Amino acid sequence: MANHLYQNDLPDGLNLGPMVAIDCETMGLNLHRDRLCLIQMSSGDGDCHLVQVAKGQTEAPNLCKMLADPGVVKLFHYGRFDIAAMHNAFGTLAAPVYCTKIASKLVRTYTDRHGLRNLLHEMISVDISKYQQQSDWGAETLTDAQLNYAASDVLHLHKLKAAFDVMLAREGRTEMAQACFDFLPMRAKLDLDGWPDADIFAH
């Protein structure tokens, strides 16, 4: 496994394949207050590609091209937040997408534990540390521990997706899951545009 850290954008010519696992680190969980600091990506080959985002940065052409590419599935765990954070920073809405948290909530109805650490442990017998989760992602220089933590959030998502695809098919919920994934980019945009907590489908 290797971590590849870039400044501001993905390098020209980098092709991460037809499915890219993506996660983001921000200064906090308020999309309008807390800036995007780091985006980590993996093609599922054991390597992680990380883009450090500068304060005030509003463009990342290579990254945004990949986010908008209809031929590349963007794979998230809780994509609702990450999609919104990147759209807020760069104005590009990621699509098409797949979210392992949504998949988990559709088929693991026997539990309310849908965090990534729980899923990786149960579904594919992988243990990851969350020690660096609450750290300063806006620092000019990120530590190796931070980078390794960030990488751990994407390195196993391809295997996790494969496990969920089997469960979704088994429970007859593949079509339902796909409809949820298709709506997810708009759900993220609704968060940014003023409907973060409203159930627009309620009476």
Domain hosting 179: range is 3-192
pLDDT of residue 8: 98
Residue 161 forms part of a structural domain: yes
Residue 136 forms part of a structural domain: yes
Residues β-bridged to residue 50 = 5, 40
Measure the CA–CA gap between 19 and 7, rounded to whole angstroms: 22
Mean pLDDT of successive 10-residue segments in the chain (203 residues)?
96 98 97 97 98 98 98 98 98 98 97 94 85 82 94 95 97 98 98 94 93
Residue 21 forms part of a structural domain: yes
Kindly report, residue by residue over 23-32, the tens digit of the pLDDT.
999 999 999 9
CATH number of the domain enclosing 74: 3.30.420.10
Residue 203 forms part of a structural domain: no
Measure the CA–CA gap between 151 and 41, rounded to whole angstroms: 8
Residue 197 forms part of a structural domain: no
Residue 10 forms part of a structural domain: yes
Residue 183 forms part of a structural domain: yes
Give the number of C-alpha atoms closer than 13 A to the C-alpha of residue 102, restricted to the C-beta side: 22
Residue 198 forms part of a structural domain: no
Rounded (to 5) percent helix, strand, coil in the chain: 40, 15, 45
**Counted domains in the chain:** 1
Kindly report, residue by residue over 122-171, the tens digit of the pLDDT.
999 898 876 556 789 999 999 999 999 999 999 999 999 999 999 999 99
